[in-house]
Amino acid sequence: MKRRSFLASTTAVFGATLFSGAAPRIASAQTQPVSGGTLIWGHSETTQNLDMHQTGTASTGRVLQNVHNSIVTVDQDLNVIPMLAESFEQSDDGLTYTFRLRPGVKFHDGSEMTSADVKYSFERCANPDTGAVNFEVFNAVESIDTPDPLTVVVTLNQINAPFLSRLAENGAGVIMPEGSGDVQGETPIGAGPFRFVRREFGNEVELERFDDYWDGPAYLERVIAREIPEPTVRLTGLRTGELHMINDIPADRIGEIEDAGELQVVKWFPLNWDFVNLNHTFEPFQDARVRRAFDMIIDKEVLLEGALWGQGAVTASPSYPTSASFNADLVQRPQDIDGARALLEEAGYPPGSLDIVFKATTNYPYHIESAQILVEWFRMAGVNLTIEQLTWADWLSQCWVDRDFQMTMMNFFTLWEPDFLYYSLFNTVGAFNYRSISDPEIDALTEEARITVDPAERAEIYKAVQQRLFDEAHDIMLWFRNGSIGAQPSVGGLDTIVHPNGSNLNFHKVWLNA
């Protein structure tokens, strides 16, 4: 059902490659890079804690991607390649990793990177007192040795097959100056192409070109990220020239902007995946029949049209669709209101007996629209669903940190690495397991995957994890969402801006024509 038909028929109130379609619609007036200028970016989200070890939000990571570099990174095919390390090697037994660092790498405070900084950064991330969201990456680390200023040797006490790929994300692999942890949350210091200047919380972040960047200075003199979660306001700023660039063009306006031909449009699939979360400490959701019933209430295709104007594709799995571990055999449960009512009654919840509060954040307007659509379907299934709208900061405080919610919705970016995805989100002790899921079978599988060296065997384990998640309906998977950027014709280098993970934006090779 197309969105127009859906809107007309419902009583609800509404307020394959990783990187495809990336060619801008308009050629820049000048094809050669130009140095100088300040790019004003309309950022669709609000930054939070600026400590790259502690932050769990892609909104903040998207900015800090330009401030920090990791010891290793990935290429367009998501293969791990050197970054701040000039080279790396793994021992035959898989227990020792040796990193040879690039000489002459400068931090924004003027100090030169050495092995002591790497040791400090890894140990800080691993330390429980730090509160790092990627602490478990270092669980198997036995020792970190620095035989000379440009060599780091990490020894594990057991095989951790995804160790290198987990370091390829800034969260775990970012290298900070030794002793800088206390200031990272407010004034981050890294070795990236841009230096942090200031932040007005909830308004904007200013970055300045770092001329001593090891990979050559950026073209832009400055980037100002203006935080504008409201899609229409963001688009208006672009069209009036107040903004040079925005991410997340409003889904209902992408076709119009492309047809007008006045702005550059970059699109890719996928940007992220969305799912409905059920708090497993809430008694009804401790029963798999209730969780499956809630899954059956939702028509994912219609919800995609209604909330996202079809800008994505439904999925029963959160794995990247190009990943070897993607379980293509999973198919979404079709909407079955009568079946859901029967399953709820079997679980002891007859019509009218369940009152559920759905907490949705205004940081993602399409989450609010999704929740509003769900109200009517849940009413039809005999469930009283009410919506509580939260700011992004309140959502993070209540749902993420305090786990004070019954039902919510969230999207995740940059989780291309399956250990990062499945261990962090679904293992009982995973740092991103804010739903309090505790499934011994998933725990065992995600631990087994970590010590399984053969990639094909490891992929099969993750497929089994996906099957278990689906069977138990621990969360309700919805869709992959498309990514989009709109820009003035004066912006060059847009073909370089999207990180291979589909989420982060890198301004190193972006420029402004006069």
Residues 176-223 have pLDDT tens digits of: 999 999 999 999 999 999 999 999 998 999 999 999 999 999 999 999
Which pLDDT does position 413 carry in this prediction?
A: 84
What is the pairing mode between strands 151-156 and 141-148?
antiparallel
What is the pairing mode between strands 475-487 and 312-314?
antiparallel
Which pLDDT does position 307 carry in this prediction?
A: 96
Nearest residue to 421 via CA among 461, 388, 473, 379? 461
| 365 or 26: which leads in pLDDT | 365
Note whether 43 and 62 are within 8 A (CB).
Answer: yes
pLDDT in tens, 360-385: 999 899 999 999 999 999 999 999 99
- Amino acid identity at 64: L
| 295 or 17: which leads in pLDDT | 295
Note whether 105 and 112 are within 8 A (CB).
Answer: yes
437 CB neighbour count, 10 Å cutoff: 22
Note whether 184 and 124 are within 8 A (CB).
Answer: no
Is 0.85 surpassed by the pTM of this model? yes
| 58 or 244: which leads in pLDDT | 244
| 401 or 59: which leads in pLDDT | 401
Whether the predicted pLDDT of 132 surpasses 60: yes
- The angle at the Cα of 463, spanning 461 to 466, to the nearest 5 degrees, equals 115
In the structure, what pLDDT confidence band is assigned to residue 3 with cuts at 50, 70 and 90? very low
Q: What SS3 class is residue 329?
A: coil
Which pLDDT does position 130 carry in this prediction?
A: 96
pLDDT in tens, 262-318: 999 999 999 999 999 999 999 999 999 999 999 999 999 999 999 999 999 999 999
Retrieve residue 483's tokens. 């990514």
Retrieve residue 168's tokens. 């390829």
Which pLDDT does position 34 carry in this prediction?
A: 94
* Element spanning 405, H or E: none
Mean pLDDT lowest among 117-121, 160-164, 311-315, 415-419: 415-419
Q: Where are the beta strands (DSSP E) in 138-185?
A: 141-148, 151-156
Whether the predicted pLDDT of 21 surpasses 50: no
Burial 445-469 (b: 16+ CB within 10 A, else e): bbeebbebeeeeebbebbbbbbbeb
**Rounded Cα–Cα distance for residues 414 and 158 (Å):** 26
179 CB neighbour count, 10 Å cutoff: 12
**Rounded Cα–Cα distance for residues 492 and 390 (Å):** 37
Whether the predicted pLDDT of 429 surpasses 70: yes
Cα 184 to Cα 40, 115, 145, 175, 196, distances in angstroms: 24, 19, 24, 12, 10
Whether the predicted pLDDT of 22 surpasses 60: no
Note whether 319 and 497 are within 8 A (CB).
Answer: no
**Rounded Cα–Cα distance for residues 346 and 211 (Å):** 66
Whether the predicted pLDDT of 100 surpasses 50: yes
Cα 39 to Cα 199, 205, 258, distances in angstroms: 16, 12, 22
For the chain, the average pLDDT equals 92
Whether the predicted pLDDT of 15 surpasses 70: no
Which pLDDT does position 414 carry in this prediction?
A: 67
Which pLDDT does position 16 carry in this prediction?
A: 29
pLDDT in tens, 452-467: 999 999 999 999 999 9
The DSSP output letter for 439 is: -
pLDDT in tens, 468-494: 999 999 999 999 999 999 999 999 999
Q: What percent of the chain has pLDDT over 90?
A: 87
**Rounded Cα–Cα distance for residues 417 and 422 (Å):** 9
Whether the predicted pLDDT of 26 surpasses 70: no
All residues at 6 or more sequence positions from 496 whose CB lies less than 8 Å from its CB, including other chains: 506, 508, 509, 510
Task: Delineate the domains of the chain, giving CATH numbers in brackets.
Answer: 3-15+271-482 (3.10.105.10), 38-50+187-269+483-512 (3.40.190.10), 68-183 (3.90.76.10)
